[in-house]
Amino acid sequence: MSELRKQKRAAIEALARHFAATWERGEEPPDAYLTIAGKRIAVEVTTLKRRTAGGGGLTKPHLRFDRVALGLVRRLQAALGESVPDGKTVIVTITAPIWLPSKTAAALESKIRDCLARRSAPVEAKETIHGNQVRVRVVKGGSRQASKVIGFVHNPDSDPDVLLDITQSLIEGIGAKAGEGAPAAAVDERWLVLAGDDWLSPIDTYRQVYSQLSIPTSFKKILMVLAGGWIETLAG
């Protein structure tokens, strides 16, 4: 049995234990069918890829949601949303405090447009703009209905790689499954399960990231399997 197959099976077994459900193998897709209180549920499992080097768990980034931070992100989304091609998403991280929001936003818009003009992939930029450390990553994935620009303002002591990697993993993991059709067998609901290893960041970080993605799916629930088989709800 391949390592990927083992991870999927472990995630399904953890899900069945959590909901006291019975399960059977699916046609891939779906990976499995769960039966909970007479309800038949098609379950898709996708494994989140680790991109950050090093061992140990990822720390929780300290995000900022003040008026200046939210205003800068909204400006970027309004200015650049139509410039990002379908099938790509721009992820931006900025350190707080932002002393010159208008000038910082204008410089960031220019930098992101430069990144979008590059044909090589993946595209990533790192620099300081008006005293703020900025990271820009253009990734494959996303749809016309999903957010094209994802922005985070965070404290300087937070690792931007955590935000960039989590966002990219969710875009790829959820996006790949969102386009799949319904299973051939009749089911009551479809669930998506995101599985990873002990390196996964706190669930609150995933929820904060997911809230910005706006990826349209037909899944009734999106769940995460954390360290030790612990189940948390991401959506639904």
Q: Provide the domain count of the chain.
A: 2
Domain annotation covers residue 165: no
Same domain membership, residue 84 and residue 117 = yes
What whole-number distance in Å separates Cα of residue 91 and Cα of residue 216?
A: 18
Is there a single domain that holds both residue 49 and residue 119?
no
Question: Mean pLDDT over all residues of the chain?
Answer: 87
Q: Please determine, for residue 53, whether its predicted confidence score (pLDDT) is greater than 60.
A: no
Q: Which among 158, 190, 216 is the end of a domain?
A: 158
Query: How many residues are present in the chain?
Result: 236
Q: 137 and 203 in one domain? A: no
Q: What percent of the chain has pLDDT over 70?
A: 86
- Residues 101, 122 share a domain: yes
- Same-domain pairing of 78 and 152: yes
Given a cut of 80, is residue 143 above it in pLDDT? no
What b/e sequence results for 176-193 when a residue is b if at least 16 CB atoms lie within 10 Å of its CB, and e otherwise? ebbeeeebeeebebbbbb
**pLDDT level of residue 150 (50, 70, 90 thresholds):** very high
Phi-psi region of 54 (alpha: psi -120 to 50; beta: other; left: phi over 0): left
Q: Which of 133, 201, 198, 192 minimizes the C-alpha distance to 167?
A: 201
Please indicate, yes or no, if residue 11 is contained in any of the structural domains.
yes
- Residue 197 CB contacts under 8 Å (≥ 6 apart), including other chains: 50, 227
The pLDDT, as a whole number, for residue 131 is 96
In a domain, 163, yes or no: no
Is the pLDDT reported for residue 210 higher than 60?
yes
For residues 112 and 141, membership in a common domain is answered with yes
Parent domain of 48: 3-54+171-235
Same domain for 73 and 150? Answer: yes
Q: Are 190 and 40 in contact (CB under 8 A)?
A: no
Q: Considering the domain boundaries, does residue 116 fall inside one?
A: yes
DSSP E strand boundaries for 131-187: 132-140, 149-154
pLDDT digits (tens, 9 = 90+) for 84-117: 988 889 999 999 999 999 999 999 999 999 999 8
Residues 6+ apart with CB under 8 A from 159: 52, 58, 59, 61
Question: Do 154 and 195 share a domain, yes or no?
Answer: no
Statement: residue 1 has pLDDT above 60: no
Comparing C-alpha atoms, which of 24, 4, 46 is closest to residue 185?
Answer: 24
Burial class (CB in 10 A: 0-12, 13-18, 19+), 167: buried
Question: Which CATH number characterizes residue 184's domain?
Answer: 3.40.1350
Q: Judge whether 207 lies within some domain.
A: yes
Residue 59 lies in a domain: no
Q: Is the pLDDT of residue 198 over 90?
A: no
Say what the pTM is.
0.88
Which ranges of 81-138 would DSSP assign to H, the alpha helix?
Answer: 101-117
Q: What tokens does 12 get?
A: 């399904």
In a domain, 34, yes or no: yes
For residues 83 and 133, membership in a common domain is answered with yes
CA 50 to chain centre: 12
Rounded Cα–Cα distance for residues 143 and 216 (Å)? 8
Of the three residues 105, 129, 158, the one that is the final residue of a domain is 158
3 band by pLDDT with thresholds 50, 70 and 90: low
Cβ neighbours of residue 26 closer than 8 Å, sequence gap 6 or more: 32, 33, 42, 43, 183
Query: Does 12 reside within a domain?
Result: yes
DSSP string covering 21-84: -EEEE-SSSSSEEEEETTEEEEEEEEEPPP-S-SSSPPPPP-B--SHHHHHHHHHHHHHHGGGS
